[in-house]
Amino acid sequence: MDFALLRRANLGELKRGIYYKTKWGNVRPGWHLECSAISNKYLGATYDIHVSGADEAFPHCENILAINKAISGRSGANYWINAELILVDGRKMSRSLNNALPLAQLRQGGYSGRDIRFFLLAMHYRKPLNYSDSALKTAKNTVKKVNIFISRLSAIDIDGDALAEVDQLIYDLKNRFVAALDDDLNIAGVLSAIFDFIGKINPPLAQGMIMKNDARKILAALANINEVLGVMDFEVQVPRGEISELILKREVARKNCNWQEADSLRAQLAELGVDVLDTPQGAIWRWK
């Protein structure tokens, strides 16, 4: 009597064939039963984590749990995580309030999936997340800085002596990563550890003290973390065609101290959607 497992199909559902014939009439599963059936079919009676919004803890998640126990004697998920809501001007983002932003719209606005994902991860799941254009732009710029750091490391092709502190810094990063995830999935703690790590690597990197082997170790450590975060881009950009020619011309202009021409070539590259960064190992580039 607490909640409906099956609901009478309406006219639209009947026309679309969304119903089952039963002794109670033409019915279709309720939302709670649908979710429980899907998880049992694809994940089994027990799975690791169930994630939904904080506004769904009651009645939805409690009802799924009750159905799961009736089916198998088990609750379903080992961990039930109910993330707080995304707010727009202090109100819940939802289609019913006509303030939802489709991902396709954000992509059309120049934001990548990584940018959006970083924005969503930056706040702990137990705290509400306030959406704003400026906050999303900040996320985009932060992702860009991290990926430029990765590009600089990927460009290193010089063998030499290892830097003593690199192994220790990587060890500390990995430990902080695990500790943060163990602390109630504290992704903000993970991001803080990454930025501290980048801040300590940047000075020797700018001085040309990071050699190829150390660069590969650093990239491997970040790639391991990115299996969880999914916000970093490890694709090595290879200059081609017009881009390659403009970069080479700019390098020549810089060597000849022809700064005006170098700036003009940088502007031409920017029009092509290319960012150029000068490093001790030479110029590297990324799409904007």
User: Quick one: what percent of the chain has pLDDT higher than 90?
Assistant: 75
How far apart CA 82 and CA 49 sit, in angstroms, is: 10
Query: Do 182 and 272 fall into the same domain?
Result: no
Distance of CA 19 to the CA centre of its chain: 38
Residue 103, domain member (yes or no):
no
> By C-alpha distance, which of 277, 266, 37 is closest to 286?
277
Query: Do 225 and 245 fall into the same domain?
Result: no
pLDDT score of 174? 97
pLDDT score of 239? 65
pLDDT score of 158? 86
Residue 35, domain member (yes or no):
yes
Query: Do 220 and 248 fall into the same domain?
Result: no
Residue 194, domain member (yes or no):
yes
- pLDDT tens profile 55-81: 999 999 999 999 999 999 999 999 999
pLDDT score of 270? 86
pLDDT score of 206? 85
For the residues 205-219, what does the mean pLDDT come to?
93
pLDDT score of 238? 63
Residue 189, domain member (yes or no):
yes
Residue 97, domain member (yes or no):
no
Query: Do 121 and 223 fall into the same domain?
Result: yes
Residue 153, domain member (yes or no):
yes
Query: Which neighbouring-strand residues pair with 79?
Result: 49
State which of 36, 57, 83 marks the end of a domain.
Answer: 83
Query: Do 132 and 225 fall into the same domain?
Result: yes
How far apart CA 140 and CA 56 sit, in angstroms, is: 30
Query: Do 221 and 124 fall into the same domain?
Result: yes
For residues 26 and 9, is the Cβ–Cβ distance under 8 A? yes
- Residue 65: count other Cβ atoms within 10 Å of its Cβ: 18
Residue 110, domain member (yes or no):
no
Mean pLDDT of the chain: 92
Q: How confident is the model at residue 1 (pLDDT cuts 50, 70, 90)?
A: low
Question: Residue 56: which domain range?
Answer: 6-83
Give, in order, the Cα–Cα distances in Å from 134 to each of 131, 139, 154, 226. 9, 9, 30, 25
- pLDDT tens profile 236-277: 666 668 888 999 999 999 999 999 999 999 999 888 778 888
Query: Do 49 and 137 fall into the same domain?
Result: no
Query: Do 74 and 126 fall into the same domain?
Result: no
- pLDDT tens profile 149-208: 998 898 888 899 989 999 999 999 999 999 999 999 999 999 999 999 999 999 999 888
Q: How confident is the model at residue 51 (pLDDT cuts 50, 70, 90)?
A: very high
Q: Which residues contact 153 (CB under 8 A, 6 or more apart)?
A: 205, 210, 215, 218, 219
Question: How many CA atoms lie less than 13 Å away from 190 in the CB half-sphere?
Answer: 26
For residues 159 and 213, is the Cβ–Cβ distance under 8 A? yes
Tell me: pLDDT of 281 over 80.
Answer: no
Query: Do 34 and 67 fall into the same domain?
Result: yes
Query: Do 208 and 262 fall into the same domain?
Result: no
pLDDT score of 288? 65
Count of structural domains within the chain: 3
- pLDDT tens profile 27-48: 999 999 999 999 999 999 999 9
Q: How confident is the model at residue 278 (pLDDT cuts 50, 70, 90)?
A: confident
Reading the block at residue 138, the tokens are: 């900040």
